[in-house]
Chains A and B, each alone.
Chain A
Amino acid sequence: MSFITGVGLTAFGKHEGSSSLDLMSKAAELAIADAGLKRAEIDGILCGYSTVAPHIMLATVFAEHFGIRPVYAHAVQVGGATGLAMTMLAHHLVEAGVVRHVLVVGGENRLTGQSRDASILALAQVGHPDYEVPLGPTIPAYYGLVASRYMHQYGVTQEDLAEFAVLMRRHALMHPGAQFHEAITVADVMTSKPVALPLKLLDCCPVSDGGAAFVVSREPTGEIGVRVRGCAQAHTHQHVTAAPALSELGAEIAVARAKANSGIAISDVRYAAVYDSFTITLAMLLEDLGLAARGEAASRVRSGHFSRDGAMPLNTHGGLLSYGHCGVGGAMAHLVETHLQMTGRAGNRQVRDASVALLHGDGGVLSSHVSMFLERVR
């Protein structure tokens, strides 16, 4: 068994003068304190990557900087799925008895550490270097392609997609650490600047500075345990040109495997934390995961199903779309918020029942997927 024993999250937005290591350290310190542990008790470190400060041994760099000499440490790179992939690995390392307490950490000064163009260029490199990148696509364009096809196939409209941006913003308004604090409407999304149609500016997550961390342990360190019940991955392709049909995407495969190895059904889930780099990402993943029928996710947003007081509260911190996206730490914020909800510490965002949660991360262009079920135990 493994448990998420502590979580840490910085505010997202601008952290002028903070390096990636600074943001990682800040989040790590919060997570270790939250677990009620001391630095010296951490014997494993898994970290993500920083596009601002790339390094071939980031985990070791961080360990030295932070002052830990772990028995196990390395970086993990699966794009947006990195946070949950690290959590899955930490779960297995702890279960196998390799380590007792793994620190999982991600942080990057992606907003103030480089220009927005540099961020967009770095991310576009997930495309094929010979057959895609020379055509000048951007990450929004890769997802714009996917969106156009999904909308065509399932009758989803741009107004439907806008609902997800509005929902994430409404949730972010309740979190002081979120990057955005102004309410938006569907009309605001529709009239925002075109980026890669059908995606407009407010369909896209921002670039942020920030950090997130958690501790994965063999036993709970507090009264309430948040246990990893099961997790699984699926990797169907890297490049959008080589993606399988919409009906064969990796999220469905990953969640089916996670359901099988956890024994948990979607009907057991009370809280959802789903990757939302773009509105289309969230719409598709909700439907792939079985949290809404095909083409029905937007109407479930409109009916309040995914709101804080709805039947399936979703990304109550505001998600990547409105809490912000600092790279690896971005999707880790989803797990931090889930932990706060499951342990009854989400304050004015607290949902009625978060006893069982489904988390899902996606890297590349719906290329790499990690699904995970967490369960509260006392």
Chain B
Amino acid sequence: MSGDRQRMADWTAGAEAIVYQCCAACGGLQYFRRSFCAICGAPDPVERRASGEGTVYATSLVCRAATPETRAHVPYNIVLVDTAEGFRMMAHGDHDLAIGDRVTARFAPFAGRLVPYFERKK
């Protein structure tokens, strides 16, 4: 990153957290980490930890995987979740999740790392 701000650890770095960025200039949100805001170009968006709450936007149950590591987990449900904070993310989830379900995240091992895993909100 170009700025001095400390990068917050998240699941892509092995921590049990979902992190997103918020632009101080335009208020835009982004999930894919960058050193600038992709909406207005302002530098150093602020990193925030997401609550893990959200709503299921789409699902696909993977039954055919392409590596020995991922094949060990077949079938696994890939989901897109619209988070309470307002950004969309890809994750794993319960097999019976339906579009529109309110969900909450935990973290689960997958192919040698931790990935976000959504369950229906109790």
Report which A residues bind B (CB closer than 8 A): 117, 120-121, 124, 128, 130-132, 134-138, 140-142, 144-149, 152, 193-199, 239-242
How long is the Cα–Cα vector from A149 to B79 in the complex, in angstroms?
A: 11
A326 to nearest B CB, angstroms?
A: 19
Give chain B residues whose Cβ lies under 8 Å from the Cβ of A195: 63-64
User: Measured between alpha carbons, how far is A234 from B61 in the docked complex, in Å?
Assistant: 29
Contact with A128, one of B32, B58, B64 (Cβ below 8 angstroms) = B32
Asked if residues A131 and B89 are in contact (CB atoms below 8 Å), the reply is yes
Residue B115 contacts which of A134, A144, A240 (CB distance < 8 angstroms)? A134
Q: Which of A138, A145, A148, A152 contacts B66 (CB 8 A)?
A: A138
A152-B99 contact given A145-B60, A194-B63, CB 8 Å threshold: yes
A149 touches B63 (CB 8 A): no
Which of B33, B67, B78 has the largest count of A CB atoms less than 10 A from its CB?
B78
Shortest Cβ distance from residue A193 to the other chain B in the assembled complex, whole angstroms: 7
Task: Kindly list chain B residues whose C-beta atoms are within 8 Å of the C-beta of A124.
Answer: 66
Also in contact, A146 and B32, with CB within 8 A (given A121-B66, A135-B78, A196-B64): no
- Which residue of B is nearest A136, CB measured? B70
Residues on B with C-beta less than 8 A from A141 are 60, 62, 78
B120 at the interface (CB under 8 A from A): no
Is B73's beta carbon under 8 Å from chain A?
yes
Residue of A nearest to B89 (CB): A241
Chain A neighbourhood of B90, CB < 8 A: 128, 131-132, 135, 137, 240-241
In the assembled complex, how far is the CB of residue B79 from the closest CB belonging to chain A, in whole angstroms? 8
B22 interface hit (Cβ, 8 Å): no
A134 to B32, CA, bound (A): 14
Per-position binary interface string of chain B over residues 11-51, scored 1 when its CB falls under 8 Å from any chain A CB and 0 otherwise: 01000000000000000000111000000000000000000
Most buried by A among B32, B60, B61: B60
User: A137, B58: Cβ atoms under 8 Å?
Assistant: no
The minimal Cβ–Cβ distance linking B48 to chain A, given in whole angstroms, is: 16
Q: Looking at chain B's contact residues, is the secondary structure mostly helix, strand, loop, or mixed? A: strand
9 tightest A-B CB contacts, nearest first: A144-B60, A120-B66, A136-B70, A194-B63, A197-B61, A149-B58, A145-B58, A117-B66, A152-B99
B13 nearest CB across to chain A (Å): 9
Q: Are A117 and B58 in contact (CB under 8 A)?
A: no
Q: Which residue of A lies closest to B111 (CB)?
A: A136
29 A–B contacts, CB within 8 A, in A order = A117-B66, A117-B67, A120-B66, A128-B90, A131-B90, A134-B115, A135-B91, A135-B110, A136-B62, A136-B65, A136-B76, A136-B78, A138-B62, A138-B64, A144-B60, A144-B61, A144-B78, A147-B60, A148-B60, A149-B58, A152-B58, A152-B99, A152-B100, A196-B61, A196-B62, A197-B63, A239-B32, A241-B31, A241-B32
How many angstroms between the C-alpha atoms of A144 and B80 in the bound complex?
11
Residues of A within 8 A of B61 (CB): 144, 194, 196-197
Give chain B nearest CB distance to A190 CB in angstroms.
15
B92, closest chain A residue (CB): A135
Number of interface residues of B (CB under 8 A): 33
A48 to B110, CA, bound (A): 35
For A131, list chain B residues within 8 Å (CB).
Answer: 12, 31-32, 89-90
Q: Which residues of B contact A240 (CB under 8 A)?
A: 80, 90
CB closest chain-A residue, reference B116: A135
Chain B hits for A132, CB < 8 A: 90
**Most chain B CB inside 10 Å of its own CB: which residue of A132, A141, A195, A240:** A141
Q: Are B64 and A136 in contact (CB under 8 A)?
A: no
For B76, the chain A residues whose CB sits under 8 A away are 136
Nearest residue in B to A147 (C-beta to C-beta)?
B60
Contacts of A128 in B (CB 8 A): 32, 90
Q: How close is A340's CB to chain B, nearest CB, in angstroms? A: 35
Given A141-B78, A240-B80, A241-B88, are A134 and B111 neighbors across the interface (CB < 8 Å)? yes
B5 on the A face (CB < 8 A): no
Are the C-beta atoms of A134 and B12 separated by less than 8 Å? yes
Q: Are A137 and B66 in contact (CB under 8 A)?
A: no
Whether B80 contacts A241 by the Cβ 8 Å rule is yes
Residue in chain B with minimal CB distance to A201: B64
Query: Which chain B residues lie closer than 8 Å to A149 at the CB level?
Result: 57-58, 80, 99
Q: Which of A121, A140, A144 contacts B67 (CB under 8 A)?
A: A121
* B121 interface hit (Cβ, 8 Å): no
Q: Select B80's contact among A120, A121, A145, A194, beta carbons within 8 Å.
A: A145
* Chain A residue at minimal CB-CB distance from B68: A117
